[in-house]
């Protein structure tokens, strides 16, 4: 039997359900919509708890989050739409949001606004009202607004908009019960759509004329006539294409009206429409809010330092270095504990002889241990700190400061977020490139991520170079890797046609994030990693050991000798190391120990330690990374990225093999 969660986190618990309080309709769908970073996801998590499903919208790469709750005898489906700023067709998130509202017709849309930037958020509210859907406005983060001296009068805003308005502090659950009550009431009366808010006379007259013509033609699109009229006047390509297929004369008439608007205002019609909305948003906001005089809060003083033209680069570097130091310090401590615990129960060194079942089991168990000793010690601490930095507002400041640097490889500052994720694990980092606007940018970011030294590569660098050479050479490899990312990014940029988009990112207020939100985000990211990575580690480890026991890998290793011995200057068994390393990079170290024991200086000299670490750091992405590349971009792109990694590793490794002996 399907279980629905009780409402919680700030709600008064329901002791009994009063049948008389239930409506005639006992199941609703609520869509949460609004700009990015307004607390929409916090509200979603508070309402749905752990009862969530996160996937993709059908046929789209945009993430879909849906959950459910049980409130006063009613089942409520909650859909968290992507954070957007308009209903244009500039991004997939905007298309997904407007198509869902128009075609799926949720019973009510809750528009979440940031109380501290009311005017800016109302620009999107007006567009939602144009769609003529049942609407409730949620003014969130009113506590932060008060700290800035901003007080919003709910009643005045409600009167100006003509829709229910509720103030909330979502991180504490304040106002959420009232919000759901208002939403359910609006859902019960779907005919009570927002009143039409009219724009300036010249514009409004032409919107009405075009709306009437669209209505007379009986256009089959499910959007409201007024909304379609506005979109045509704004020159929205998708709406124009769809209407042209049904009634070309509407477009001809719209072009005449748009020309008239442009002639009157001396501006493009889309700019005129945007100006009309901003003017109205300013008028509504100024009438509903009061600005009181207060001292400049600490968060604003800190913000000036974080975005300072000079100091901002130092603070950004400190944030990134702090994230990595936290991850590796905590990770190294936990990894030692977990490795010792698992070795107590079962040896996990590669087993290359004996019964085939023992070989397979040992390989599979090794995959389990490898997964656990990566995800728990390295990935979870990384995601915890990343979620804190992200929800506090620090990460957007870092992305803003790094924007000019990222443009050198065809990306903007926002791409820094998945690139930093890549230092924990490439798989979720590539998955998170969905925050970027175009496939080209996602592909360039994914390409750069595959060169980022993830936790597994870090173990290899530390185990080979930091221990057996010195820590300075280990740090030098990280600098080398960063240089390679820039160089390969530049080459990929020249090979990939298209233009880079500008950085559009909401700089929400610095704040202490909710610990519960951090935990939920960390679990959601870790869970998706477990589902993808663990099966590949387990199966891949078992197959590698089975292939070696059957004598398959040794001939391959001998075949690779001209490359590994001749060009890279490594021992003959290095071919096997690179083969097993394709499953997981630290398997190179694990297999090497099984061959020669813990004193690796018996098998490798200083140059070979460094060269093996360079090749292991750069060559073939692990099986899990290749799998996510295929899933997100297809076989062709995955093959090209894999080939580029392999070629770079061999070229750089070979050059160091021939140059280092002169310096060491």
Which of 3-17, 172-186, 378-392, 553-567 bottoms out in mean pLDDT, i.e. has the lowest?
3-17
CATH 3.40.50.300 fits 19-188, yes or no: yes
* Residue 60 annotated as binding site: yes
* Residue 59 annotated as binding site: yes
Report the percent of the chain where pLDDT is more than 70. Answer: 80
Which sequence spans correspond to the domains of the chain? 19-188, 201-291, 311-662
| Mean pLDDT score, 468-480 | 87
Beta pairing partners, 69: 76
* Residue 82 annotated as binding site: yes
Beta pairing partners, 64: 55
Higher pLDDT, 90 or 658: 658
* Residue 39 annotated as binding site: yes
CATH 1.10.287.1770 fits 201-291, yes or no: yes
Closest CA to 178 of 7, 5, 3, 32: 7
* Residue 114 annotated as binding site: no
* Residue 134 annotated as binding site: no
pLDDT band for position 425 (cuts 50, 70, 90):
confident
* Residue 34 annotated as binding site: yes
Q: What is the pLDDT of residue 11?
A: 42
The answer, yes or no, to whether residue 597 has pLDDT greater than 80, is no
- Give the whole-angstrom CA distance, residue 490 versus residue 501: 16
Query: Where is 28: in which H helix or E strand?
Result: strand 27-34
* Residue 393 annotated as binding site: no
CB 545 within 8 A of CB 362: yes
CA dihedral 354, 359, 365, 366 (to 10 degrees): 90
* Residue 8 annotated as binding site: no
* Residue 38 annotated as binding site: yes
Which of 298-312, 451-465, 649-663 bottoms out in mean pLDDT, i.e. has the lowest?
298-312
Domains 19-188 and 201-291 share a fold: no
* Residue 105 annotated as binding site: no
Q: What is the pLDDT of residue 356?
A: 59
How many helices (DSSP H) and strands (DSSP E) are in the chain?
31, 9
Q: What is the pLDDT of residue 37?
A: 80
Q: What is the pLDDT of residue 456?
A: 76
- Tens digits of residue pLDDT in 109-124: 999 999 988 999 999 9
| Mean pLDDT score, 177-204 | 85
* Residue 607 annotated as binding site: no
Q: What is the pLDDT of residue 528?
A: 63
- Tens digits of residue pLDDT in 625-636: 898 899 889 999
Closest CA to 64 of 44, 47, 49, 43: 44
| Mean pLDDT score, 493-513 | 66
* Residue 127 annotated as binding site: no
| Mean pLDDT score, 271-299 | 83
pLDDT band for position 541 (cuts 50, 70, 90):
low
- Give the whole-angstrom CA distance, residue 653 versus residue 24: 71
* Residue 61 annotated as binding site: yes
CB 127 within 8 A of CB 87: yes
DSSP state of 90: S
Q: What is the pLDDT of residue 55?
A: 55
The answer, yes or no, to whether residue 612 has pLDDT greater than 60, is yes
- Give the whole-angstrom CA distance, residue 87 versus residue 234: 11
pLDDT band for position 345 (cuts 50, 70, 90):
very low
Report the percent of the chain where pLDDT is more than 90. Answer: 22
* Residue 140 annotated as binding site: yes
pLDDT band for position 3 (cuts 50, 70, 90):
very low
Report DSSP letters for 638-657, one per residue: HHHHHHHHHHHHHHHHHHHH
Q: What is the pLDDT of residue 14?
A: 33
Q: What is the pLDDT of residue 12?
A: 37
Residue showing tokens 């490794």: 653
* Residue 463 annotated as binding site: no
Q: What is the pLDDT of residue 50?
A: 55
* Residue 80 annotated as binding site: yes
The reply to whether the predicted model has a pTM over 0.75 is: no
Question: CB under 8 Å to 176, separation ≥6 — which residues?
Answer: 7, 9, 10, 11, 43, 46, 47, 168, 170
Q: What is the pLDDT of residue 10?
A: 38
Q: What is the pLDDT of residue 380?
A: 80
Other CB atoms within a 10 A radius of the CB of residue 599 amount to 9
- Tens digits of residue pLDDT in 438-461: 788 889 889 999 998 887 787 788
- Give the whole-angstrom CA distance, residue 175 versus residue 143: 12
* Residue 41 annotated as binding site: yes
């Amino acid at each position: 039997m399907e279980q629905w969660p009780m409402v919680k986190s700030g709600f008064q618990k329901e002791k009994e359900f009063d049948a008389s309080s239930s409506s005639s309709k006992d199941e609703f769908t609520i869509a949460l919509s609004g700009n990015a970073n307004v607390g929409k996801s916090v509200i979603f998590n508070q309402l749905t708890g752990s009862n969530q499903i996160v996937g993709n919208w059908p046929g789209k790469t945009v993430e879909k989050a849906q959950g459910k709750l049980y409130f006063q005898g009613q089942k409520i489906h909650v859909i968290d739409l992507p954070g957007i700023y308009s209903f244009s067709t500039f991004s997939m998130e905007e298309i997904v949001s407007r198509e869902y509202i128009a075609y799926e017709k949720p019973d009510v849309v809750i528009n979440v606004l940031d109380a501290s930037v009311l005017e800016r958020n109302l620009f999107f509210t007006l567009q939602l009202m144009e769609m003529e859907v049942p609407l409730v406005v949620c003014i969130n983060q009113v506590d932060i607004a008060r700290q800035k001296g901003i007080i919003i009068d709910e009643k005045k805003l409600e009167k100006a908009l003509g829709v229910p308005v509720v103030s909330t502090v979502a991180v504490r659950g304040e106002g959420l019960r009232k919000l759901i009550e208002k939403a359910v009431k609006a859902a019960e009366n779907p005919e009570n759509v927002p009143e039409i808010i009219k724009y300036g006379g010249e514009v409004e007259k032409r919107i009405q004329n075009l709306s009437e013509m669209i209505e007379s033609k009986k256009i089959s699109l499910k959007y409201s006539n007024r909304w379609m009229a506005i979109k045509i006047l704004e020159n929205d390509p998708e709406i124009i294409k769809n209407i042209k297929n049904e009634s070309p004369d509407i477009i001809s008439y719209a072009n005449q009206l748009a020309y008239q608007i442009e002639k009157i205002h001396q501006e493009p019609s889309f700019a005129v429409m945007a100006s009309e909305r901003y003017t109205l948003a300013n008028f509504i906001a100024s009438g509903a809010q009061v600005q009181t005089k207060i001292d400049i809060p600490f968060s604003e003083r800190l913000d000036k330092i974080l975005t300072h033209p000079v100091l901002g680069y130092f603070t950004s570097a400190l944030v990134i270095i702090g994230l990595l130091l936290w991850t590796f310090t905590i990770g190294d401590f936990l990894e030692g504990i977990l490795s010792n615990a698992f070795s107590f129960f079962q040896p996990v060194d590669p087993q290359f002889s004996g019964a085939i079942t023992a070989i397979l089991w040992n390989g599979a168990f090794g995959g389990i241990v490898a997964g656990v000793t990566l995800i728990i010690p390295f990935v979870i601490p990384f995601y915890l700190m990343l979620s804190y930095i992200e929800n506090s507002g620090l990460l957007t400041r870092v992305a803003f400061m790094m924007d000019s640097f990222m443009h050198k490889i065809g990306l903007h500052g926002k791409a820094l977020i998945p690139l930093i994720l890549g230092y924990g694990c490439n798989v979720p980092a590539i998955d998170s490139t969905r925050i970027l606007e175009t496939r080209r940018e996602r592909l360039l970011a994914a390409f750069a991520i595959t060169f980022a030294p993830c936790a597994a590569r870090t173990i290899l660098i530390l185990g080979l170079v930091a221990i057996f050479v010195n820590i300075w050479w280990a740090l030098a490899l990280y600098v080398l890797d960063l240089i390679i990312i820039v160089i390969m990014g530049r080459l990929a940029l020249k090979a990939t046609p298209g233009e880079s988009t500008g950085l559009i990112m909401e700089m929400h207020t610095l704040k202490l994030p909710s610990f519960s939100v951090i935990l939920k985000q960390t679990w959601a990211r870790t869970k998706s990693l477990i589902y993808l990575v663990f099966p590949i580690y387990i199966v891949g480890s078992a197959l590698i050991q089975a292939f070696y026991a059957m004598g398959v890998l040794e001939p391959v290793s001998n075949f690779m000798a001209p490359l590994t011995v001749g060009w890279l200057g490594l021992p003959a068994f290095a071919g096997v190391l690179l083969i097993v390393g394709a499953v997981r990079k630290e398997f190179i170290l694990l297999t090497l120990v099984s061959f020669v024991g813990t004193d690796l200086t018996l098998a490798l000299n200083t140059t070979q330690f460094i060269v093996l670490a360079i090749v292991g750091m750069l060559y073939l992405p692990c099986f899990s990374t290749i799998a996510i590349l295929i899933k997100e971009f297809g076989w062709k792109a995955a093959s090209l990225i894999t080939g580029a990694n392999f070629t770079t590793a061999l070229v750089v490794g070979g050059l160091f093999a021939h140059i280092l002996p002169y310096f060491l």
